[in-house]
Structure 1
Amino acid sequence: MLYIDSFLNFLKFEKRSSDHTVVAYKADLKQFAEYMKEMGVKDEREVKTRFIRNWVVALHYDNLKPRSIHRKIASLRAYFKHLLREEVIETSPVEGVILPKLSKNLPDFVKEKEMDLLLDHVPFGEDYPGVRDRTIIDLFYGTGIRLSELVALKDRSFDFGSGLVKVLGKRNKERLVPLNQTTLNSVSNYMLRRNQEFGENKAKSFFLTDKGEAIYHKLVYRIVNKHLRSVTTLAKKSPHILRHTYATILLNRGADINAIKELLGHANLNATQVYTHNTFEKLSSIYNQAHPRA
């Protein structure tokens, strides 16, 4: 297919999408291009709606999860919409593709007592990896930032005087997130330990590997997964679970949903409202205390 690289450049340089987003689009589109090549189609103008429907069926028989199939079709939809704007095609072949509605998966979250156990009682160790790992967990839990946002942090991202961290979010949009005193202390302690270990930080990354190199996504994921295993039985033990946990706890403690939207860096309120289901635990507690027949 002829225009994938052009579209990826549009995402990166004009739409200012994150590297993670561009990589995801690239993977989806290259996979579709391979399928089209098998069908003898090399030009986007030759793609028919039935080809995309057949691809959906093929993905289903490959045991791909429905949510993943939806994401791939969303990538195609955005791609062909771009080609429409560029007048490469006259109609989008994706518009005729109807996918079944997804069941809403409510976000999992780690219980507050489990996080207290992890951060207050589980030993991380006083060596560099231990101090770093604890700070990573603390920062995810204390700010709700995304994995890509944590990896992108630099020393200058932190303002200790104001107690804020500057986060570079999706589409390179910056936001300021407050840090509680415990997390501030954790970050400060990490910087001291890191500089003792490696000297002045010349890497672009705030967090470093055991060898003093810039940290990367897979390592952070493994760190979080390893430590969450010690306190929770949740199936998913990822950095994003800690983002869910952050939002849920703020809501349960009475924070305004619009404020949480800004803290999380959501573009619209719909993305934040998915967390409101978890406040039912709080509502039930209030009901049991207040209702005369409870």
Structure 2
Amino acid sequence: MADALVPDDLWERIAPLLPAQPPRRHRFPGRKPVDDRVALAGIMYIPRKGVTWADVPAERIGCSGVTCWRRLRDWTEAGVWPRLHEALLTELRRAGLLDMDDCSIDGSHVRALKRGAHTGPSPVDRGRPGSKHHVIVDRHGTPLSVTLTAGNRHDVTQLMPLLDAVPRIRGRRGRPRHHPQRLFADRGYDFDKYRRLIRKRGITPKIARRGIAHGSGLGKTRWVVERAFAWLHQFKRLRIRYEIRADLHQGLLQLACTIICLRRLRTAF
């Protein structure tokens, strides 16, 4: 079961990034810790099936949902997921599969069934508690960075944080790439202040104007960000936020981004 949920190509990339287990005592070693690959299989089971941690089938996975949750907590606090995402983006750029000249940005609402950090009354869900996923993607829809905010935060407030969160992607000679040449966005980002901030970074803003009829033509390039949200929300656990801790939901988001990057690598070779 672990091999099916955690294929070899994923395990080979994530294993070197996992923190080492603390040494066991010689006199009273206690119970042997669960293997990291088995725990990762339980973590992968959650977003794919959309079940609760208590419903993880321990007899099939090899460990309980509580153990999987603790490993997710420890690995999230250790910063495993951003480093894994950056490593896969580097591989994509080395293979010529990353096109950062044109990038698109957008946000998507999700319902939050439990309160916690980064939740708020959603304006598109009758004021129910909700959160927002914000993502910036390249020309092909590959997620470059993702953030989580409360459901009542405006999309434009995450424009600069998302650009700052894009890692310095290596993989080719020269300086690492971390800024696009052109940034596409919908009318929610139409503020002159942010246009100036984007231009200061050497990025050309391609943002639809408010009050103008549809048909700007930006959708021919910007549609890939909508497809990226469809890819992300294929992971059932991400369609609705169940995690009280915002960092754990963010960790699952980043894990989903790495799976999308890995799928692109697989289909290209």
Structure whose alpha-carbon radius of gyration is higher: 1
Q: Same fold (TM over 0.5)?
A: no
Give the structure with the higher percent helix: 1
So what's the TM-score if we normalise by structure 2?
Answer: 0.24
Bigger RCO (CA 8 Å, 6+ sep): 2
So what's the TM-score if we normalise by structure 1?
Answer: 0.23
